[in-house]
A = this chain, B = another copy of it.
Amino acid sequence: MIRLATVQFQPVYRDVDANTAFIVNAIANTDADVIIFPELSTCGYFFVSRDEVGGVAESVDGPHITAITNAAHAANRVVVCGFAERDGDNLYNSAVIAGPGINTRVYRKTHLFYKETLCFDEGNTGFFVVHLPHLDCNLGVMICYDWRFPESARTLALQGADLIACPSNLVTHIWRMAMPVRAFENKVYLAVANRYGTETNTGEDVSFNGQSAIYSFNGEVLTSANAEETVTLISEIDPSATRNKQFNSINDIFKDRRPESY
């Protein structure tokens, strides 16, 4: 069993120092093996131009992300944390994956939502799974609107993910119907770390709806948050329990697939 945490909070809009301090503190003080933070945790969400994002973005070896990955190693905890990434002239809505026993990796959001398309480049990492050797856990990451496409979680699960981390800044409500289905249709754990609060830019408000949750591989809600609270959710999960996709004496949800028909 491993202890999985998702942190729900309200990042301070455009204040990377303050958010990084919050994240580093949460890593040090959360008794968990894996900790998931929301999308764009370091900087807030609602940007409407590349210039705006450029002001808060940094590379994965920049000072704030380094502070976060150092905190992960110092606490011996695997961290998944959303941030605005700069890579040369490119800008990505990314999540860093860092901690004991693994090389630091970055997932770049595949499906961009709304005005993110004005700010970020489409992710070019694709979906991938990171094996966490000391936890015997295969971790995949998708970010927020990626959930809307069943192909995202499916691709991760077919690559062997036991656990999908979903750093999010969710603004609609239908995700709460879909996330448990994403979990059970792939028989994987799914951890949604959502933020809450409202941000305003160019006269437009965007409100995030919290309700972060950890779903078991059968779609059950193991733990969930309210719509507006700073809270850390923790569940004990058994990654190895996801790997046998057989559910009766004959059927197996992966072996029964017929990709030639899709």
Name the contact of A117 in the complex, choosing from B122, B149, B250 (C-beta under 8 A).
B250
Complex Cα distance A148/B253, Å? 8
Q: Are B126 and A261 in contact (CB under 8 A)?
A: yes
Q: A154 in the interface, Cβ–Cβ < 8 Å?
A: yes
Set of chain B residues within 8 Å of A113, measured between Cβ atoms = 251
Give the contacts of A86-115 with B (CB-CB under 8 A).
Answer: 110-115
Question: Given A126-B261, A262-B154: A177 and B174 within 8 A (CB)?
Answer: no
Complex Cα distance A262/B117, Å? 20
Q: A181 in the interface, Cβ–Cβ < 8 Å?
A: yes
Interface centre among A151, A218, A257 (most CB of B within 10 A): A151
Question: Given A150-B150, A181-B181, A185-B148: A261 and B114 within 8 A (CB)?
Answer: no
Set of chain B residues within 8 Å of A111, measured between Cβ atoms = 256-258
Give the contacts of A227-262 with B (CB-CB under 8 A).
Answer: 248-251, 253, 256-259, 261-262
Q: Are A150 and B114 in contact (CB under 8 A)?
A: no
Overall SS of chain A's interface: loop
Copies of the chain in the assembly: 2
Set of chain B residues within 8 Å of A115, measured between Cβ atoms = 250
Q: Name A114's closest neighbour in chain B (CB-CB).
A: B250
Set of chain B residues within 8 Å of A184, measured between Cβ atoms = 174, 177-178
Name the contact of A174 in the complex, choosing from B127, B219, B259, B261 (C-beta under 8 A).
B219
Set of chain B residues within 8 Å of A149, measured between Cβ atoms = 185, 253, 256-257
Interface centre among A114, A154, A181 (most CB of B within 10 A): A181
Give the contacts of A137-191 with B (CB-CB under 8 A).
Answer: 145, 148-151, 154-155, 174, 177-178, 180-181, 184-185
Question: Given A114-B248, A174-B184, A181-B178: A261 and B155 within 8 A (CB)?
Answer: yes
A17 smallest CB distance to B (angstroms): 31
Set of chain B residues within 8 Å of A258, measured between Cβ atoms = 110-111, 122
Complex Cα distance A249/B259, Å? 33
A59-92 CB mask vs B (1 if < 8 Å, else 0) is 0000000000000000000000000000000000
Q: Name A111's closest neighbour in chain B (CB-CB).
A: B256
Set of chain B residues within 8 Å of A219, measured between Cβ atoms = 174, 177
Complex Cα distance A155/B249, Å? 28
A203 smallest CB distance to B (angstroms): 15
Q: Are A178 and B174 in contact (CB under 8 A)?
A: no
Complex Cα distance A260/B185, Å? 22
8 contacting pairs across A/B (C-beta < 8 A): A112-B256, A122-B258, A149-B253, A151-B154, A151-B259, A155-B261, A177-B181, A178-B181
